[in-house]
């Protein structure tokens, strides 16, 4: 009897990472987490049978410790947030670019069976064409977006040069349980929910008519699991992970007000540098090659997320 695969989840203490860790454990896999917990939280892994390596992606020795015996890698570790990268570009570059290179070198040496890299819709930049299709990447407008595009290039290169099986996933505005609402750089869904639950006016940067393809976190988890077992046609390729629709921030707020039965008028601040105006994904490539299909509608995801925040305060 073969032993279960050993999955390394970088950034496993974070929002998407901790949800992925649970899904891997639920199907009987072994899991190791590499995280420095600078943005993730240890409590996201409380009660889980995981091997935790506290370390930095930018430190060779930490990465080497984490890779012992690993068969599959889910690389979610990064310094997130477009806004943070605009304010302080160097830390984003060090963590995201150097960290990804360190990870790929270790994966090549370990001869892992698959590396699944978490990228971002931000690589498309401010291009007017909707929906966004793979192969039509624009000009990134934030250091974070540049770092994610560089990570994709490295993953593609390591497949072509060294035969390392890599798959890149471009997330479109993932939301769901365990997403931190407290950070200055927090995503809009948890910030809106936290504001409404405390009867505080939600802050909208800009006029609120900017739109996003909001995607429930369990669909991002599904995409990771499918990418880890995808056929060779997926190697060295990038895939959009989204619902394939879009809604404005004002529309999002209206939906949450209805779900939570709270009415609080928003306040508006100037638009933030690095934020794009509209985003929507074409997900046909992911459907065709990965077998990806969104399992949650936008409304279903919002209802599940709001219920989780109500329960967990």
| Non-local CB neighbours of 310 within 8 Å, separated by 6+ positions | 197, 260
Of 251, 254, 269, the closest CA to residue 204 belongs to 269
E strand segments, the chain? 6-10, 30-35, 51-54, 72-75, 114-120, 166-171, 174-175, 203-205, 211-212, 215-216, 237-241, 247-248, 267-269
Catalytic residue among 144, 154, 216, 309: 144
Cα dihedral 20, 23, 29, 32 in deg (nearest 10): 30
The structure tokens listed for 155 are 């993953």
Angle at 153 between CA 12 and CA 148, to 5 degrees: 45
Question: Are the C-beta atoms of residues 73 and 8 closer than 8 Å to each other?
Answer: yes
Q: Is 292 among the catalytic positions?
A: no
What residues are labeled active site? 144
């Amino acid at each position: 009897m073969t032993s279960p695969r050993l999955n390394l989840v970088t950034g496993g203490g974070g929002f998407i990472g901790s949800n992925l860790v649970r899904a891997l454990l639920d199907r009987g896999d072994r899991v190791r987490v590499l995280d420095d917990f600078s943005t993730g939280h240890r409590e996201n892994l409380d009660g889980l049978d995981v091997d935790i390596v506290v370390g930095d992606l930018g430190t060779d020795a930490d990465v080497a410790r984490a890779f012992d015996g690993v068969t599959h890698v889910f690389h979610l570790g990064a310094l997130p947030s477009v806004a943070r990268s605009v304010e302080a570009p160097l830390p984003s570059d060090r963590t995201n670019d150097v960290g990804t290179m360190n990870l790929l070198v270790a994966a090549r040496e370990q001869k892992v069976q698959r590396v699944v890299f978490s990228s971002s819709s931000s690589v498309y930049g401010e291009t007017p064409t909707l929906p966004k299709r793979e192969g039509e990447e624009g000009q990134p407008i934030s250091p974070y977006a540049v770092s994610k595009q560089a990570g994709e290039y490295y993953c593609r290169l390591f497949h072509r040069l060294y035969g390392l099986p890599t798959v890149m996933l471009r997330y479109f505005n993932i939301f769901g349980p365990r997403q931190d609402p407290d950070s200055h750089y927090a995503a809009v869904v948890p910030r809106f929910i936290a504001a409404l639950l405390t009867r505080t006016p939600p802050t909208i940067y800009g006029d609120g008519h900017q739109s996003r393809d909001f995607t429930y976190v369990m669909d991002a988890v599904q995409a990771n699991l499918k990418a880890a077992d995808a056929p060779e046609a997926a190697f060295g390729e990038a895939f959009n992970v989204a619902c394939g629709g879009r809604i404005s921030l004002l529309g999002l707020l209206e939906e949450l007000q209805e779900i939570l039965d709270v009415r609080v008028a928003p306040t508006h601040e100037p638009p933030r540098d690095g934020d794009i105006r509209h985003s929507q994904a074409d997900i046909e490539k992911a459907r065709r090659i990965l077998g990806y299909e969104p399992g949650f509608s936008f409304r279903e995801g919002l209802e599940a997320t709001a219920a989780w925040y109500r329960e967990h305060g």
